[in-house]
A and B are shown apart, each in its own frame.
Chain A
Amino acid sequence: MSAQAAVFHSGSLDESKPGDPLAYISASRLKSFLTCRLRFFYEKVLGLKAPASPALQIGKAVHAGLQHFNLARWRGGDTSPAATLQAYDKAYGELEVQGPVDYEGKDRTECIDTGQRVLDAYLGSDLASDPRRILGVEAYLRREEGLPLPLVGVLDLVLEGNVPVDFKTVASTPVLEDEAWQNELQLTAYHLLMQDATGEEPGQGELVYLTKTKAPKIVKQVLPPVTQVQIDRLKALIDVYADGVSREDYHPSPGMSCRWCSYRTQCAAWAGSKVRKAVGMAA
C-alpha cells in the first residue's frame, strides 16, 4: 500500500494507531513531541486510546463538514447547508463509534448544536464564497528531500496562489498574535510541503477560526510570509525530534499541559528508563 493510501484516512493523517515514529514527521507529531515526550510516546508511538474531549469531538466533526463543503465546491457536488450539516452529523456519529467521548458533564445535544451553529456561521460568511480557485482539499503532501525524515501533512484547503488554509475551531475569539505563534510550526511545515509539491513559492498561509461562542464568529488571519529563520528553526526542531526518538528519549515535561492530559495515570508510573514496564503496569 502506498504512503498516501496508508496514512491518509478520513481527511486527516491517521496517527491514532501505533506507528514507527521515524517513518515520517508531521506538524502534529512534532508539536506533540515538543510539548511532552512521554505523552507523545503514549499517544503516537504506543497508540494508547484516550477519550476524546468535547472540543476535539466537535472540532473533528466540523472539520468533516467543511471538508464536504469544500470538496463539493471543487468537484461540483451538493454545497447546500443541509448537505454540509448532514456530513457533519454523520461524522459526529462515526467518531463516537470509533472512540468514546468524555463529555465532562456537558450535554451531548448541546455539543452537537454548537458544531452546527459554527458551520452555519461559516456557510453564511464571505469565506464560504471565496472567489479564489480551489487547488486542493485535504491535500496529502509528502516531502522526501532536504530533511532528516520525510515531512508529511494534510492541508485543509489550498487556494489559488498556492495559499494553504487551515481551519481552527476555537472556544473564544482568538488573540491573533498568540495564534500565529502557536501555529508557526504547522504553517512553516505547510510552506515546505507546498514548495516541494508545486515547485513554486507558496502564498502566505491563512488560518480561519470558527469560534464556538453563542453567536459564532468566523475570523480569517493572513499570516506573514514564512521567513528563512522559521524554516531553519523547523528543521532544527525536526533534528531534535529525530535524535530524541532514535534514542527513545521519552521523559515527562510537567507543566500547564498536564491539566488536560489524558495520560496522567500512565505518566505517574513512569520512572526513568523503566518507561515501558511502567506502561505495562498501568495497562
Chain B
Amino acid sequence: MSVNLEMSYAKKVGLPEYSSHNFSVSLKTEVARLEDVSGEVERVYRLLQTAVDEQIVNPGFVPGHEQSAPAPKNGVDDSKPWKCSDKQKALILKVVAENKLDRVEVEQLAVTRFGHGVALLNKLEASGLIDELLGKTGRSSAKKAGAFRPFEQRRAA
C-alpha cells in the first residue's frame, strides 16, 4: 500500500512601509510504508525550506523604494487602506514615529505575532500590536510582564 503525502512550506517576510511578501512551494510525493512518512517529511521539509529561502531573498518591488514616485512624508503611505480602525492606524503610526521605532521591525513583529503585516491586521490584532508597542516603549502594563525585549530606537536621520 502506498501513502500519498502533500506538503507545502510557506514563509512571509516583512518589508518596509508595512508591506510584506510571501512565497510558498507545494509538493506531492509518495512513500511505500507508513513507517517511511516521518523520514520523508523531514527530507521534504528541508528541501522546501531551502527552495523558499533561496527565492524569498529577492523582494522585487519594495514600496518606498520607488525612484519615480515622490516618497510620502515620513516615508509612510497614509493613504493605503488598513483593515483596522482609523484610530488604531493613527495610534500605531504615532507610537512608531514618537518612539522612532524601526518600521521593518514593527512589520516583522506583526507578521510573527499575527501572520500578516500591519496594514492587514484586523481590529483585534491591531489592539494586540498597539499594546505590545506601548509596552515596549514603556507606556502600558505589558512592560510589567517583563521578559520582552524593548525595541531599539531607530537612529535619527
- A binding-site residues for B, Cβ under 8 Å: 2-5, 8-11, 64, 67-68, 71-72, 74-78, 83, 87, 90-91, 135-142, 144, 158, 162, 194, 196-199
- With A140-B127, A141-B127: A71-B145 Cβ-Cβ less than 8 Å: yes
Contacts of B142 in A (CB 8 A): 71
From residue B12, how far is it (CB to closest CB) to chain A in Å? Answer: 16
The answer to whether A198 and B128 have CB atoms under 8 Å apart is no
The answer to whether A9 and B124 have CB atoms under 8 Å apart is no
The answer to whether A197 and B122 have CB atoms under 8 Å apart is yes
Task: For A75, give the chain B residue with the smallest CB separation.
Answer: B148
In Å, the complex CA distance between A3 and B113 comes to 23
In Å, the complex CA distance between A91 and B144 comes to 9
In Å, the complex CA distance between A78 and B127 comes to 22
Contacts of B24 in A (CB 8 A): none
B141 contacts the other chain (CB 8 A): yes
The answer to whether A139 and B128 have CB atoms under 8 Å apart is yes
From residue B106, how far is it (CB to closest CB) to chain A in Å? Answer: 14
The answer to whether B144 and A2 have CB atoms under 8 Å apart is no
Contact of B141 among A67, A72, A74, A199 (CB under 8 A): A67
Chain B, residues 96-138, CB within 8 Å of chain A (1/0): the string is 0000000000000000010000000011110110111010000
The answer to whether A67 and B90 have CB atoms under 8 Å apart is no
Contacts of A162 in B (CB 8 A): 124
The answer to whether B90 and A139 have CB atoms under 8 Å apart is no
- With A71-B145, A78-B147, A87-B144: A3-B87 Cβ-Cβ less than 8 Å: yes
In Å, the complex CA distance between A2 and B146 comes to 24
In Å, the complex CA distance between A141 and B148 comes to 23
- With A136-B128, A139-B127, A140-B131: A5-B139 Cβ-Cβ less than 8 Å: yes
B85 contacts the other chain (CB 8 A): yes
- CB pairs A–B below 8 angstroms (13 shown): A5-B91, A8-B131, A64-B144, A71-B142, A71-B145, A74-B113, A75-B113, A77-B146, A77-B148, A83-B146, A87-B146, A194-B124, A199-B122
- With A72-B145, A78-B147: A198-B131 Cβ-Cβ less than 8 Å: no
- With A2-B91, A8-B140, A9-B141: A142-B85 Cβ-Cβ less than 8 Å: yes
Task: For A137, give the chain B residue with the smallest CB separation.
Answer: B128
New A-B pairs, 18, CB < 8 Å, besides A2-B87, A64-B144: A2-B91, A4-B127, A4-B130, A10-B144, A75-B113, A75-B148, A77-B147, A78-B146, A83-B147, A90-B144, A135-B125, A136-B128, A137-B128, A139-B127, A139-B131, A142-B85, A196-B123, A199-B122
Contacts of B141 in A (CB 8 A): 9-11, 67, 138
The answer to whether B88 and A198 have CB atoms under 8 Å apart is no
In Å, the complex CA distance between A78 and B125 comes to 22
From residue B14, how far is it (CB to closest CB) to chain A in Å? Answer: 17
Contacts of B146 in A (CB 8 A): 68, 77-78, 83, 87
The answer to whether B124 and A158 have CB atoms under 8 Å apart is yes
